[in-house]
Chains A and B, each alone.
Chain A
C-alpha cells in the first residue's frame, strides 16, 4: 500500500483546518466520540454548526486564538492509499514550520480565498513548494460559496496564478486548480453540483489518481551508512553489515560500490532485511548491506557506484531557509548535517536574500533572520558527498545546527 504525503498551506483564514476536517468527515475517518466532542466544543464556543477545524488545532494556545501554530499530522486511508497530511501554519512568523511540513510532502496543497484571490502568503507558499521541488501542486480555490460559485472569478484567480508559474524555477511541477467550498464540502469527497461548470475531478478523486513513478529510484545510487552491525556472536563471528536507508537509486547484489570518503571499492555480497535476503534495494528501503572485502567504512560514510560518484564538496553554495530567532552570523561555525553525516561548516558569505513574495533577489541585504530565504556559501571542515538539490533532492539537502543552543537553525539546498 502506498503512502501519499500532503502538505497543506494557506493564510490564517483560508479554511485549511476546515478542509482537512471535512476530508476526514467525508471519508468516515472521525470516530463517533471525537465527533461528539467536536459538537460539544463548538457549542461551548457559541457556534451553531460543528466547527471541523477544532479537530486539528490541537494545542491550547491554538484553541484560544483560533489559529494553527505548529505542524499537525493527520491520517486517513482510502482502499487505495494511506494519506498523511502535514497541516502547516499559514501565519507569516511560522513560515519555517511550513518548510518543515513541506519537506516530506509529495503534494503541496495551497488554499486561496476566492474573495481575496492571491495574497502575499500565496506567493510565499508557492515559492517554498517550488523551491522544495514538490512534484504536485494542487491549488484549491476555497469559499466558492461566498462568490456565488462564479466561474469568472475562478478563471481570474487561475490566470493570476499562471503568471506566478511562469517565473518559477522548477517548471516540471504538475499543477491543478480546483474550485471548492470546504465549509459545505463542495468538490472535496464528491463532485459538486453547484460547481457544475467545473469539468475536473473533485479534490479526493484527484489525489487518488495522482501517480508516482518514484523518481528517486532513477536518481544516482546513494547509501548513507547509519550504523555498523557487528554481532561478534558465535553464529555471526565475522559478520560486518552496513545498516542504512537507500537515499536514492538502487543497489543490487554483485554491484561494484565505492565507499566515501575512503574511495575503496568492493562488491555487494548480500542485501538483508532481517531474515530475508534481497537481490535489489531501492530508494527508501531500510536494509543491511554486506561487502565482499573488508574496507574502511563507518557511520556517516556513503556507498555509491563507481560510475556516478558524488562530488567531494568543501565549499558549498546553497539556498537556505533560516529557522531560528538568532540571525545567521557570517563567519560563525555551525554543524552542518547532510543526511546523517555531521561536519563543521563556516559561513563564508551571504550573497543575497530573496524576497519570496516578488521572487526578487535583494543584493544589498546581507543578513538572514527568522523565516528569511537567501543564498550563502559555506566552507566545511571535511568534504561532504552531496548532489545538487535539483539533480538529486534526496542527497542535496542539509540542516545547520547551532553548536551552542543545539537548535536546528536552517535548512539548505545545495546549488
Chain B
C-alpha cells in the first residue's frame, strides 16, 4: 500500500516549520542555523528564506567542519552562502584536536563524528548562540522520535530525556537561564520522503553526491564506504570504481554509499519508496550500539 508513489508534499509541514523559525527569531537573541550541507539543512535554509522574505535570513549559518567532508559538499555550501548573502561561520574539528581538547580516534573505524560535539559546544560558547536550529527529524531514529521542537540543553549541551518541557498545541516556550541553550528542530515532523518531495517542489539545488556518480569505494561489513585519504583501510580492502549515490551526507568516514543509477530527483524518490534499508542504516556512526544516538545526544550531540 505504501509502495504507491506519493509525490505530494503536505503543505501543513511547511506552515509549521515557518512558524517555528519565526518563533526562534523572536524568542532568542542569537540564534544560528547548524549547517552541514546535507539535504535537511538545505531545507532549513530554504524555510528560513521563506519565513522572513522579503527580509533577509536573520541567522548566520554555523558549519562544524570535521575536515573529512565530501569536497562536493563544501563547494555546494560556498555557492549557497554566496547566492543567499547569509553569514557563514566555520569552526574546525582540527583546531579542537590541535588544542588537545579531543583526541583523534584510531583503528579502521576511526571517525571524527563524536569529536565534532566538542567543537560545536566551543563554538556555541564563543559565539554566544542561545539557539541552534537543526534539521533533525523524528523519523530518523528512535531517540530523536522523543525530542521536543525546542529542546533545552544545559551548559554542557546535554539533553535530559526525562526533564523535557511539555509542548502543548503550537505554543513554544524558549525561556532559558543564562548558559543554557536550545536546539530547535523545525522539521521534526517531516519524513525523509517529505524532505525529498519538498526539494522537488521547491526546485532546490543539492550537492552532487546525492545523485548517481562513479566513485572509488571499498566494501566493509556489507556496506560500501567511500574511499578517501581519511579512511583507514586494511590490505584486503581494495578500492574499486562503482556507480553509487549517498542518501545522507555526513563525513566521508561515516557515510555509506548505495549502489544506484538514480540521477534525477524523481528516480531518487522512487528509490526511497522501494528501499529496503532505512536512511540512517547507511550511517556507520549509529551502528555502534542500539542506544548510540541517545548516548551522543546526552553528550551534547545535535
Chain A contacts of B2 at CB under 8 A? Answer: 27-29, 76-79
Q: How many Å lie between the Cα of A58 and that of B295 in the bound state?
A: 12
B161 is an interface residue with CB less than 8 A from chain A: yes
- Neighbouring A residues of B109 by C-beta, 8 Å: none
CB of A104 within 8 Å of the partner chain:
yes
Q: Helix, strand, loop or mixed for chain B's interface?
A: loop
CA distance A82 to B177 in the complex (A): 37
Please give me the residue from chain B that is nearest to A57 by CB atom: B142
B189 partner residues in chain A, CB cutoff 8 A: 73, 75, 84
Q: How far is A103 from B161 in the complex, measured between Cα atoms in Å?
A: 20
Write the nearest CB–CB distance from A290 to chain B, whole angstroms. Answer: 11
Instruction: State the 6 A-B residue pairs at the shortest beta-carbon distance, nearest first.
Output: A58-B142, A31-B278, A32-B276, A33-B281, A286-B18, A406-B175
Asked if B173 contacts A401 (CB within 8 A), the reply is yes
A2 at the B interface (CB under 8 A)? yes
- Asked if residues B3 and A56 are in contact (CB atoms below 8 Å), the reply is no
Report whether A2 and B278 are in contact in the complex, using a CB–CB cutoff of 8 Å: no
Assess whether B277 is in contact with A104, with CB atoms less than 8 Å apart: no
Say yes or no: is B231 at the interface (Cβ < 8 Å to chain A).
Answer: no
B: residues with CB less than 8 A from A are 1-4, 6, 8-16, 18-19, 22-23, 25-26, 49-56, 138-139, 142-143, 145-146, 161-162, 164-171, 173, 175-177, 188-189, 191, 193-194, 275-278, 281, 290-291, 294
In Å, the complex CA distance between A77 and B25 comes to 32
- Interface pair A407/B165, CB less than 8 Å apart: yes
Q: Are A59 and B290 in contact (CB under 8 A)?
A: no
Task: Please indicate the chain B residues that have their CB under 8 angstroms from the CB of A55 in the complex.
Answer: 142
Q: CA–CA, A335 to B175, complex, Å?
A: 10
Most buried by A among B51, B175, B188, B276: B175
Q: Is A169 an interface residue (CB 8 A)?
A: no
| A60 in contact with B294 (CB, 8 Å) | yes
Bound: A299/B169 CA distance, A: 19
Complexed CA–CA distance, A398 and B26 (Å): 18
Residue-wise, chain A 248-271 has the 8 Å CB interface mask toward B (1 for contact) of: 000000000000000000000000
Q: A31-B275, A340-B171, A406-B173 are in contact. Are A227 and B22 (CB under 8 A)?
A: yes
CB-CB under 8 A from A272, the residues of chain B are: 53
Question: A323 to chain B: which residues have CB within 8 Å?
Answer: 166
Q: Is A49 an interface residue (CB 8 A)?
A: no
One digit per residue, 1 when the CB lies within 8 angstroms of any chain B CB and 0 when it does not, for chain A 204-234 equals 0000000000000000000000110111010
- Residue-wise, chain A 340-383 has the 8 Å CB interface mask toward B (1 for contact) of 10000000000000000000000000000000000000000000
Q: CB < 8 Å: which of A1, A236, A397 contacts B9? A: A1
Contacts of B53 in A (CB 8 A): 229, 272, 274-275, 288
| Cβ–Cβ < 8 Å partners of B138 in chain A | 73, 75
CA of A397 to CA of B176 in the docked complex: distance in angstroms?
A: 22
Contact check: which of B11, B15, B145, B169 meets A58 at CB < 8 Å? B145
A63–B8 Cα distance when bound, in Å, is: 36
Stretch of A152-160, A178-186, A238-246 contacting B (4+ beta carbons < 8 Å):
A238-246
Contact of B166 with A96 in the complex, beta carbons under 8 Å: yes
Asked if A70 is an interface residue, CB under 8 A from chain B, the answer is yes
With both beta carbons as reference points, the residue of chain B lying nearest to A2 in the complex is identified as B10
Contacting residues, chain B, for A104 (C-beta < 8 A):
169-170
Closest-by-CB residue of B relative to A284 is B15
Residue of A nearest to B174 (CB): A406
Determine whether the beta carbon of A37 is less than 8 Å from that of B290. Answer: yes
Assess whether B142 is in contact with A56, with CB atoms less than 8 Å apart: yes
The residue on B at minimum CB distance from A37 is B290
Given contacts A99-B168, A323-B166, contact A3 B13 (CB under 8 A): yes
CA distance A189 to B166 in the complex (A): 32
A residues near B, CB below 8 A? 1-3, 27-29, 31-34, 37, 41, 55-61, 63, 69-79, 82, 84, 96-97, 99-100, 103-104, 189, 226-227, 229-231, 233, 235-236, 239, 241, 243-245, 272-275, 284-286, 288, 299, 323, 335, 337, 339-340, 397-399, 401, 406-408, 411
Please name all residues of chain B whose beta carbon is closer than 8 Å to the beta carbon of A239 when the two chains form the complex.
54
| Shortest distance from the beta carbon of A400 to any chain B beta carbon, whole Å | 10
Residue of A1, A32, A189 with highest tally of chain B CB at under 10 A: A1
Give every chain A residue within 8 A of B11 (Cβ-Cβ). Answer: 1
Contact between B15 and A245, CB atoms less than 8 A apart: yes
- Contact A59/B19 with A33-B277, A99-B168, A408-B166 known, Cβ cut-off 8 Å: no
Check A73 against B145 for contact (C-beta < 8 Å).
yes
CB of A77 within 8 A of CB of B12, answer no
> Whole-angstrom distance between the alpha carbons of A55 and B290 in the complex?
12
Q: Which residues of chain B are near A235, meaning CB under 8 Å?
A: 54
Query: Within the complex, which residue of B9, B54, B55, B278 is in contact with A33, where a contact is CB–CB below 8 Å?
Result: B278
A24–B94 CA distance with the chains assembled, in angstroms: 42
Q: Which of A31, A69, A284 contacts B281 (CB 8 A)?
A: A31
- Determine if A1 and B25 form an interchain contact, defined as CB atoms under 8 angstroms apart: no
| Apart from A245-B18, A397-B168, A399-B171, 11 more pairs, CB < 8 Å | A1-B9, A3-B12, A34-B281, A59-B143, A61-B162, A74-B139, A229-B52, A235-B54, A245-B15, A399-B168, A408-B167
Q: Is the CB of A243 within 8 A of B9?
A: no
